[in-house]
Structure 1
Amino acid sequence: MALLHDVIDASGGLDRWSSLNRFTLHLSVGGMLFSSAGHAREFKDVTAEGSTRTQSVRFTGITGGEHSGSFQPDAITIESLDGEVLRTWRNPSLAFPEASAPALADELHLVFFCGVAIWNYLTIPFLLAHPDVVLEELSPWSEGTETWRRLRAQFPAHLITLAPEQIFYFDQSALQRRTDHDLFGMKVAHYSWAHDNFAGIVVPTLRRVQTLQADGTVIARPVLMDVEIFDAVFE
């Protein structure tokens, strides 16, 4: 698919991505989804270390720097800084909270949500080349004065994502700028910008999640989720 080829090439190329095994991020995550559940500062100024090949992310410095949280498809754990496991949630994909934002009030759910979100943020668009992901190119979308190309992706059940069907938008430079999907009973749009090159991989360093209206435009407030990546290392 020509669009997917352009998108992957603009983000660093599949050969470069395939040569990597791990990533380390310095980032902050916030927004209404967190503050309304009493976690306004849980993911401020944290480190996320993960695999580029398997779904795995470990967050260091959550809960005011007192704990670490680990996301893997079969288990979520909260750990002390010296590695002692304090709490565990087995098979989290079978019980992902569907009801509403307050479901993130549980710290294990929070680590699960952030683990899924950050891992997918870092592996898209390369994940779209997975043989089990079904893609369809949609008609272009007018965003302000720009025209963005779009791909609809259907993800297989064995890949944990925030939604099994998502629509990705790419600007004239073939960089990802928006993603639409359902979340907690809402339709949302993830906007991404301020792309930077880290070791040959181009990553949007700012992301914002907002509620979508029926016509595809966004509601400016409240901001559901803000992500800022200060630095990224790939190896």
Structure 2
Amino acid sequence: MKAIAQSIIDAHGGLTQWRKFTQVRADLVQGGALWALKGQSGVLDRTTVTVATDRQWASHAPFGTLAAKSEFTAERISLLDQAGDVKQSLEGARDSFDGHTLETPWDPLQLAFFAGCAMWTYLNTPFLLAWDGVECEEAGEWVEQGETWRKILVRYPASLEVFSKAQAIYVGPDNLVRRLDYDVEIAGKTPGAHYVSDYTTVSGIRIPTKRRIYPRLPDGNSVAEPLVVSIDLSGITLT
């Protein structure tokens, strides 16, 4: 593992500690303009999210009134009932977003894919930097919020289902993540600036409990309106 990745991962609790666990679970409250824009207002406003740390899997339970829970993997998205039986499923879900723009509505399976892909990536960051095939490199300094951050370019392998293969992570003087940049390819390559804050320590791992996502301009700066997505986490457990 590169020294760049090592320093960031160590600041969040270290890879040895992280690999003691196979799941992260949290109570999730979400807001922002995206959900209504996609015709899915209220479905995932309040739920519980669980993600795997050793494979690409995520679940939201309940999935609004539509299903008892969702299941996301890189290959398949499913909605399940209380008995665990599949109500709806879709393989190769990314292909269903072909031609989408930011304003294109989603169906429930597309919402489940987006939410699962998002929360799996978010809750596994920055430990994803240690995954096979993930590459990272320094990209200079960035001044924001009265601090000088290191900008790290990250490239994800084809084997991982993420919003975009090329992304950026910004870390503060303490090597904790402050911001993530990516282009949401399944929503017309919409550029986002994703800020994280309000860290808590759970089982020796540093985890941000507050996330706010705003539009990103071509020069890298963000704009304060609209708030695209807000995410607040509580009751976090690692098992």
> Is contact 1:76–1:112 with CA below 8 Å preserved after alignment?
yes
Partner of 1:171: 172
- Asked if residue 133 in structure 1 is aligned to residue 134 in structure 2, the reply is yes
> Is contact 1:76–1:89 with CA below 8 Å preserved after alignment?
yes
- Asked if residue 195 in structure 1 is aligned to residue 196 in structure 2, the reply is no
| Residue pairs, 1:1-20, within 5 angstroms | 1-20=2-21
| Residue pairs, 1:26-175, within 5 angstroms | 26-64=27-65, 66-96=67-97, 99-175=100-176
Q: Deviations over 1:198-229 (max 9, x none)?
A: 11111111111111112211111111111111
**In 2 relative to 1, CA 199–103 (structure 1 residues): closer, same or farther, beyond 3 Å?**
farther
Q: Deviations over 1:150-185 (max 9, x none)?
A: 110111111011110001000111111111111223
> Is contact 1:31–1:40 with CA below 8 Å preserved after alignment?
no
> Is contact 1:97–1:103 with CA below 8 Å preserved after alignment?
no
Q: Give the aligned length.
A: 235
Distance in 1 separating the partners of 2:73 and 2:36:
25
TM-score, normalising length: structure 2: 0.92
- Asked if residue 224 in structure 1 is aligned to residue 225 in structure 2, the reply is no
TM-score, normalising length: structure 1: 0.94
Q: Secondary structure at the match of 2:35?
A: helix
Q: Deviations over 1:72-104 (max 9, x none)?
A: 111111122222211111122444455223445
Structure 1 range deviating more: 170-179 or 64-73: 64-73
Distance in 1 separating the partners of 2:62 and 2:230:
18
Distance in 2 separating the partners of 1:28 and 1:125:
22
Q: Secondary structure at the match of 1:116?
A: helix
> Is contact 1:34–1:104 with CA below 8 Å preserved after alignment?
no
Distance in 2 separating the partners of 1:3 and 1:211:
27
Q: Secondary structure at the match of 1:218?
A: coil
Q: Secondary structure at the match of 1:219?
A: coil
Shift of 1:49: 2.0
Distance in 2 separating the partners of 1:66 and 1:4:
38
**In 2 relative to 1, CA 66–182 (structure 1 residues): closer, same or farther, beyond 3 Å?**
closer
> Is contact 1:189–1:209 with CA below 8 Å preserved after alignment?
yes
Shift of 1:64: 3.9
2:197 alignment partner AA? W
Distance in 1 separating the partners of 2:24 and 2:175:
23
- Asked if residue 206 in structure 1 is aligned to residue 200 in structure 2, the reply is no
Structure 1 range deviating more: 112-121 or 215-224: 215-224
Distance in 2 separating the partners of 1:93 and 1:213:
25
Shift of 1:131: 2.9
> Is contact 1:33–1:104 with CA below 8 Å preserved after alignment?
no
2:47 alignment partner AA? V
Structure 1 range deviating more: 44-53 or 191-200: 44-53
Q: Secondary structure at the match of 1:63?
A: coil
1:16 alignment partner AA? Q
Output the aligned Cα RMSD: 1.6
